[in-house]
Amino acid sequence: MHITHVLPNGKEVRLKEILFKDIRTFNFYENTSIQGRIEFLQSFILTKGLNILEQFYALIYLRLHCIGNEIIMTSDKGDVGVSLDFLKKNIGGIPDILTSVDIDGAEYTLDFPFHFNTGNNDFILSLIKTIRIGTETLHVSDLSKKEQEEVVERLPEQLYKIIDQYLVDCEEFFNLTLLESREGLDIQPIKFNMLHPTFAQFIVSMFKCVTTEGYRELLFTLSKRINDISFLANSTYLEVYDYFEMYTREIEEQNAQQGG
């Protein structure tokens, strides 16, 4: 099922639901590298050409819609649930940091990068959103990986210095504070520089919602009530967990009636 969501900057994005079977793939069988997992999650964003902050918002919505609102953080007093809605409010929207520069008749427009940093420093060149020469505009994110590499090889040396200064000028916009430290709980604050690999790592962690044992328990328990396993596999995790809770309550009520 496809869903739509409007980002804070007014851009409408189309997304594909992450189903229970996809969670299984993501957690147990998919490429275990951060790059592989990020690419797997990006495959559910049907609207292309989004920068990493727009993708972050889209993935938060997808997580809310398909898995749930709460993520678990560790503290000195044990695991603590934190609302994604609360974290989202702290992001502060999607600022417009577009900057265009002209070099030898070509106009280069810089923005938030469209690639996450997953350990490859070349990602920084994805700050280049478009290249316009005359009446033709090249959208770099639309190019294949090979085509992007060819573009990078032809970039003028002056542009690298401009990018370095752009990173300095826009530094405050690349820093996110999703959660400050909480008084009374030793919870690590959630702060990121979006250009650092820890940002991609946090996004991946949002979708690690079930262990191998938990996945098997959900399927085993619900198979006693719902014989069609494919129905469960093609439901969202949020729906499957709702079924699990309803079935658990049903069993508890039956046991209470028998005991009474």
Per the DSSP assignment, residues forming a β-bridge with 128 are 110
* pLDDT bucket at 91, cuts 50 / 70 / 90: confident
Does the pLDDT at position 76 exceed 60?
Answer: no
Beta carbons within 8 Å of 187's beta carbon, 6+ residues apart: 73, 74, 75, 80, 179, 181
* Residue 84: predicted pLDDT: 87
Span of 73-77, 84-88, 179-183, 202-206 with lowest mean pLDDT: 73-77
Cβ proximity of 191 and 181 under 8 Å = no
Does the pLDDT at position 31 exceed 80?
Answer: no
Does the pLDDT at position 6 exceed 70?
Answer: yes
| The pTM of the whole model exceeds 0.85 | yes
Give dist(CA 229, CA 232) in Å, integer. 5
Give dist(CA 122, CA 124) in Å, integer. 5
Mean pLDDT of the residues in the chain? 88
Q: What are phi and psi of 235, to 5 degrees?
A: -100, 165
How many residues can be counted in the chain? Answer: 260
Q: What is the DSSP letter of 184?
A: T
List pLDDT tens digits, range 18-30.
Answer: 999 998 888 876 5
Check residues 210 and 102 and name the one with the higher pLDDT: 102
Does the pLDDT at position 149 exceed 80?
Answer: yes
Mean pLDDT of 180-206: 81
Cβ proximity of 185 and 80 under 8 Å = yes
Check residues 15 and 224 and name the one with the higher pLDDT: 15
